[in-house]
Structure 1
């Protein structure tokens, strides 16, 4: 990094360029949504829960379209939002460096522009993929340069329907309970946004001190000299295994049910603007067919992540090794597979996340009314898939739909802009490649809803508008002409 730091910092010039681009495009648009109050307190047009990448680009798009009266809240401290510097443990992002991601079509807002401003074009040419810490720095800069309205240290405890068609949000900020009133709420809450980390039931048969999920805050330094097991072989499994080995684990055993590691990233192979914009238009059976196939094939871990683990002699890969039993024995665990018994001091579950609305206290008032795919779409024969069956069935702007029509109309004001939206909309809400397109779809839907709901006020404004463009002195009308008699020849 010392060579990179020698490049002159040109970030100020990049920011000037971005300001000029926005000015020439007349962005952001002027604020146009009529203000509202409840009992003397201002109403927010939109509250976005989550200040990670998805929340920031959603905020940027709303601001761009003139919805200035919105707020982003995140429970993390500033600079700790999302997974990048918390439980993400890869060295670099998995996405190619040139993807424009949250840039909203603005070249000066891309990661490339940011990286070259700091380190130069030669450094960009040499870069393979974005280091995750620098990606986090980029998102912090993104938030600052767009002047996005983010409040940190805010947790949303409950979202409640109001009789006036709006939403109450009970929050905690600085340890104090407060209430916000909003017309729309966006859940930009990431991979576990409608549930939480998943571990198989047998995990709970042993003391919690012996295991962790990859989303947990793991003290890897305590694993030095220990025997560590990892269940799973996806990207997060490899990243956590490598981190344990680099921390000095004496032995690392990775347990995988499959006969071999997946090798082909199917969805990447068909990535196109057709998929981005066309997936939502597929018939339901084809949406299911695409995703069920991709999930069954699984996504391979990145090659650099696998090599990072396999470079250690004390790392051992066990294929065709589902877990048959897990038990405590004194100060360690005994894990049993069809291939043998393994003594472990600590076990890491790289078993992903599960959609479970019962885990989301903030949605408890709405959970019985939220329509899931299994509520209306019969699972195709041979394609049983609990994750897809439990996915929310969403409208055009990522809004929740009612299980029973008319039972909870305000549900349409809550937008699911997180990973579980994939079955309804495609991969627009969690991954870098199409996050701007997803945020654009979300923001335009909210803008439409706000305008339609305020139509009477907008019509009144139309009638009241009286700024003349003509002053009346531009062209005097002719006086009444005398009759013109045709000349005789």
Structure 2
């Protein structure tokens, strides 16, 4: 029975009306102000965003609100951008529910506002963590309510920065091959967007039907009745193990290199507005030291994800079980570790991602010319870190920089707004807590660059501006004093 004292949720139409009013009060989006360009009779975009997931949405919304002509492209079907409804397997997000995420400072655009509009405040208070698929529903609404221009099922095959101030994008679309020209390109391509899944070298010799990476799209029902091994102890390892167990795996062996599973999320302890806004200006040694410490300590798996595994009696946590060898006998994997040999039918590597632009065909035209942190900084002994060394050395608007100045004109017109920006800018381009701060930094930086490039045109437009505010009928010119005296 419904409690008559409980307020009825206002519903999404009321929230959307509130958001429209907020945007109107703030005069958003700004009026278009950039100088239109064409090339060979075709319009040139101000900014093309590659990726329509959370980062791509936040970047697109910010740029549009700044009056910049922006269009995003994503390879996934509409509503399936990012990992949330495809390769992610957690039950809930690990981020606290109250974080405002990509809301860009607009209360009516937050997940909480969206949730309460449908289910009420009492349901919000009762909610522990945000269900993963509900977060995807919220992002779908975010795109719709802001009317963002995102073209789905467009797969970018080649990005070429040019000396004439344009960047060329070659892609496959539902209508066939397509070339798009833009003045700036934003790569909002996610955790693996500048490389791909990492697996240990010994995996390369294994038959492909006997293993997968945790980020692969895969039907876990095929693991029913099988002995499964999961390499790793992070969030994706727990999610993969739990999904396999829930799909009916005969057993799951978690093979954990460390002697213990990390307990403390150091990145959570580092999160504050000072770091969000101050990381970019830190000396190189401090940037490296902070990120290396967090990497070394590692982020623990969420408690809920770990309990989701351990509630199964056929789940086994093997600590100190680093992979030493793998032998294939028929369709059985014999995994050698310091804890003994495990006989398995399938192996899932939850071993993260590697930054490696040169392995991606779409970046071939410029990847060798990028300046990476390995070209900029040599860490002290004991702080060596492959991920940090491979990270691109980015400018203040997330733009790539040339390793050798002048060799790759136009490279700085490509902006890296995804996880590999973390060493240069901090974690403001891929994770929920500070994604709005990152999007605003990106958008404001690109707006400044677009204006500076066209300052002569803007000055000419200023000179030509002729909208009168005073029409000459507001006063009567005074007579000279002598004439006024004579008429007195």
Q: If the TM-score is normalised by the length of the shorter chain, which range does it land in?
A: over 0.9
Name the structure 2 match of 1:72.
Answer: 72
Name the structure 1 match of 2:62.
Answer: 61
C-alpha displacement of 1:204: 1.3
Q: Is the 8 A contact 1:193 1:418 kept in 2?
A: yes
When normalised by structure 2's length, the TM-score is 0.96
Q: Is the 8 A contact 2:161 2:409 kept in 1?
A: no
1:274-313 matches, cutoff 5 A: 274-313=274-313
Name the structure 2 match of 1:315.
Answer: 315
Name the structure 2 match of 1:89.
Answer: 89
Cα separation, 1, equivalents of 2:324 and 2:484: 109
C-alpha displacement of 1:338: 1.0
Tell me if 1:35 matches 2:36: yes
Cα separation, 1, equivalents of 2:245 and 2:321: 21
Q: What do the CA deviations read for 1:390-423 (whole angstroms, capped 9, x no partner)? A: 1000000000000011222301100000000000
After TM superposition, the structure 1 stretch with the greater mean CA deviation from structure 2, 380-389 or 73-82, is: 380-389
Cα separation, 2, equivalents of 1:200 and 1:7: 54
1:8-407 matches, cutoff 5 A: 10-67=11-68, 69-174=69-174, 176-407=176-407
Cα separation, 2, equivalents of 1:72 and 1:479: 63
After TM superposition, the structure 1 stretch with the greater mean CA deviation from structure 2, 278-287 or 167-176, is: 167-176
Q: What do the CA deviations read for 1:208-265 (whole angstroms, capped 9, x no partner)? A: 1000001101221111111000000000000000000011111110011111100001
Name stretches of at least 5 consecutive residues in structure 1 with no aligned partner: none
C-alpha displacement of 1:327: 1.3
C-alpha displacement of 1:482: 3.3
The alignment partner of 1:405 has SS state of coil
Tell me if 1:438 matches 2:438: yes
Name the structure 2 match of 1:412.
Answer: 412
C-alpha displacement of 1:484: 12
The alignment partner of 1:392 has SS state of coil
Name stretches of at least 5 consecutive residues in structure 2 with no aligned partner: none
When normalised by structure 1's length, the TM-score is 0.96
The alignment partner of 2:447 has SS state of helix
Cα separation, 2, equivalents of 1:310 and 1:7: 39
The alignment partner of 1:262 has SS state of coil
C-alpha displacement of 1:483: 11
After TM superposition, the structure 1 stretch with the greater mean CA deviation from structure 2, 193-202 or 263-272, is: 263-272
Cα separation, 2, equivalents of 1:349 and 1:331: 17
After TM superposition, the structure 1 stretch with the greater mean CA deviation from structure 2, 472-481 or 257-266, is: 472-481
Cα separation, 2, equivalents of 1:188 and 1:469: 43
Number of residue pairs the alignment of both structures matches: 481
Cα separation, 2, equivalents of 1:285 and 1:43: 40
The alignment partner of 1:409 has SS state of coil
Q: Is the 8 A contact 1:379 1:389 kept in 2?
A: no
Cα separation, 2, equivalents of 1:135 and 1:382: 39
Cα separation, 1, equivalents of 2:112 and 2:101: 11
Q: Is the 8 A contact 2:195 2:356 kept in 1?
A: yes
Q: What do the CA deviations read for 1:108-128 (whole angstroms, capped 9, x no partner)? A: 000000001111111111100
Q: Is the 8 A contact 2:190 2:430 kept in 1?
A: yes
Cα separation, 2, equivalents of 1:227 and 1:186: 43
The alignment partner of 1:401 has SS state of coil
Q: Is the 8 A contact 1:93 1:129 kept in 2?
A: yes
The alignment partner of 1:387 has SS state of helix
After TM superposition, the structure 1 stretch with the greater mean CA deviation from structure 2, 431-440 or 404-413, is: 404-413
C-alpha displacement of 1:360: 1.5
Cα separation, 2, equivalents of 1:467 and 1:304: 62
After TM superposition, the structure 1 stretch with the greater mean CA deviation from structure 2, 208-217 or 460-469, is: 460-469
C-alpha displacement of 1:9: 6.7
C-alpha displacement of 1:471: 1.6
C-alpha displacement of 1:473: 2.6
Name the structure 2 match of 1:423.
Answer: 423
| C-alpha distance 7-250 of structure 1, shift in aligned 2 (>3 A) | farther
Q: What do the CA deviations read for 1:306-344 (whole angstroms, capped 9, x no partner)? A: 111011111111111111101111121110101111110
Displacement over 6 Å in runs of 4+? none
Q: What do the CA deviations read for 1:98-157 (whole angstroms, capped 9, x no partner)? A: 000000000000000000111111111110011010100000000000000000000010
Cα separation, 2, equivalents of 1:446 and 1:74: 21
Q: Is the 8 A contact 1:228 1:347 kept in 2?
A: yes
C-alpha displacement of 1:8: 5.7
Q: Is the 8 A contact 2:210 2:331 kept in 1?
A: no
Cα separation, 1, equivalents of 2:9 and 2:240: 35
C-alpha displacement of 1:192: 0.6
Cα separation, 2, equivalents of 1:484 and 1:242: 96
